[in-house]
Structure 1
Amino acid sequence: MKKSVVFLLILLSILYLPATALMAWAPNYEGEPDILNPNHISGAFVWHDYNGFHLRTTTVGDKHTFTGTIHTNGHFQNVDDRFFRDKDYYHLSDRDTVDFQFTTTGRTVGIDFDIADGDYLSLEIYMDGHKISPMDIYVGKDGWHPGKYKFTLNRLPYYYDERVVIVHPRWHGYWGWGYHHR
């Protein structure tokens, strides 16, 4: 009896680990951007960690309004707006799209959320009603910049180590640092 229980536990562990690896987000989305320093830099900051996804905005003291849309082919869970100020808001529609508006004056404003059953996260970000410059968007610990204001972060389908799939930009699929434009 004891041998069969041990065997069953080992078998379940072997089956569980590859399944979780198959649904991992790219390593370069991981970690709060090192450059995020409220009141010293302006921009939008996106990252993933063990608590889920995070979107923050901050400015160098000037008042700016950040608006946009976040979309996934899964659904949002545990949306947390504790970093909001008076007139900030988000609207979750059909569990797969979040529209947001943050007014930022030197401090940090944003939301946290999880994604269930989704393979990608698309973001479209505006600052003061204009497409935000990609140089003002920082993703992951290293703070890399996407190619434009509208970008997609993909869950890597066969992620077993820290390699990121890079494909030529003309091909439909991954390019850059594991993301592609829609």
Structure 2
Amino acid sequence: MTTIVRRTTAVLGALALGTSLAVVATPAAQASTTTPTTTTGCATGTLPDEITGRPADFTAGLSSGYWIWKDSNGWHLRVTHKPGTRAVYAGTIRTSAQTTVIGVRNEARDRVWRSADRKTTAFTLVNYGGIDGLDFTPRCSERVTFTLTVNGRPIDPMRIHLGDSDSHPAASTFTISRIPLSA
């Protein structure tokens, strides 16, 4: 069994967008008028549009940050920063359902730990300007909570890029929740 160090952190900055959407957005965002993305075969609801689609301009060597999106192949978390220095990206992903996780472009110093119930993943990605990351599938999880750091400190939420809309959470710890299906 893998032991994961847990920090008590409040889920900060989740904004209510629209009438029933609990998702992160830029701190100064106004109410969203977007339609939720339909996810077939998932009784827990649909995902918000703000996290769908790979960011079109994401490439290695951008300014330090996290890029997170959902597409037909699952969820993706990537990190990169300007070449020539070392940056350590670390965090946790907590889900309400079991999750499968695969490391992407990981090197010898990159680590991924899983809890026994497969609902918590902790990671450390040592990056030198390329791309490191994780692909994960939280199987219709009602919510996914991220706690993200860089070099041992909470990352500026403006450096967390969500979906092809490039939305940003209000804090480095945030939750993305599914929109419940109408009865």
TM-score, normalization: structure 1?
A: 0.73
Where does structure 1 lack aligned partners over 5 or more consecutive residues? 1-16, 160-182
Identity of aligned residues (%): 28
Residue from 42, 45, 48 that aligns with 1:26: 48
The match for 1:51 among 63, 73, 79 is 73
In structure 2, the residue matched to 1:107 is 130
Q: Gapped runs of 5+ residues in structure 2?
A: 1-38
Name the counterpart of 2:121.
98
The answer to whether the aligner puts 1:153 opposite 2:176 as a matched pair is yes
Q: Residue 24 of structure 1 contacts residue 156 of structure 1 at CA under 8 Å; is this kept in 2?
A: yes
Q: Secondary structure at the match of 1:81?
A: strand
Shift of 1:132: 0.4
Conservation of the 8 A alpha-carbon contact between 2:162 and 2:168: yes
- Deviations along 1:104-147, one digit per CA (max 9) or x if unpaired, are 11100001010124200000000000010001100011211100
| Superposed displacement of residue 41, structure 1 | 2.5
Number of matched pairs: 142
Report the alpha carbon displacement of residue 20 of structure 1 after superposing the two structures with TM: 4.3
Asked if 1:39 is matched to 2:61, the reply is yes
Conserved? CA contact 2:161–2:168, under 8 Å: yes
Q: TM-score, normalised by structure 2?
A: 0.72
Q: Using CA pairs below 8 Å that are at least 6 residues apart, which structure has the higher relative contact order? A: 2
Q: Which moves more between the two structures, 31-40 or 109-118?
A: 31-40
The 3 A distance-change label for structure 1 pair 19 and 67 is closer
What is the CA-CA distance between 1:24 and the residue it aligns to? 2.1
Instruction: Tell me the SS of whatever aligns to 2:66.
Output: strand
- The question of whether the paired residues in 1 share the 8 Å contact of 2:98 and 2:139 is answered with yes
Q: Which amino acid aligns with 2:69?
A: W
Structure having the higher helix fraction is 1
Query: Which of these two proteins has the greater Rg computed from alpha carbons?
Result: 1
Q: Which runs of 4+ in 1 moved over 4 A?
A: 17-22
